[in-house]
Amino acid sequence: MTLLQKGDKAPNFSSQDQDGNLHTLADYKGKKLVVFFYPKADTPGCTAEACDLRDNYHRFQANNYALLGVSADSAKAQAKFKNKFELPFPLLADEDKSVIEAFGVWGPKKFMGREYDGINRTTFIIDENGIIDEVIADVKTKAHAAQILK
């Protein structure tokens, strides 16, 4: 599963957001970047997580953080999710899973006794120089901002 850890260089990703704008790791040089991977837009856990980050967005901005949400949803689904909950940060539509796989968050999961492959909810905090500062695998969806901004 997640092979990346604190001290590793973050993958040099490139992906489009809900509006078709391209985002790369280099775009965020000089800022701390929070890349949070979530299984599916507009589902209860993912909504709780995204809304907690939204509600604390001013705190992230005050501390020189940029946020990027990533799932394998289509750009249309990401745009609907972003607009419905007034999310102030881009959501990458990683349908080909290139970013998801580069960060190593695709793999076996269990839900209600069933095993399948999917996105394992994980957050990476990347420093101003593109180095992973922290990996949060045990995401608390309703208090995720507090996990990041401790």
Catalytic residue among 33, 46, 72, 77, which?
46
Residues with Cβ < 8 Å from 24, sequence gap 6 or more? 12, 13, 14
Closest CA to 144 of 33, 81, 55: 55
- Token pair, residue 46, equals 């993912």
**51 classed as catalytic:** no
Q: CA-CA distance, 90 to 55, in Å (whole number)?
A: 15
Q: Do residues 56 and 88 make contact, with C-beta atoms less than 8 angstroms apart?
A: no
- Token pair, residue 14, equals 């490139």
For the chain, the straight-line distance linking the first and the last C-alpha, in angstroms and rounded, comes to: 25
Instruction: Please identify every residue annotated as catalytic.
Output: 46
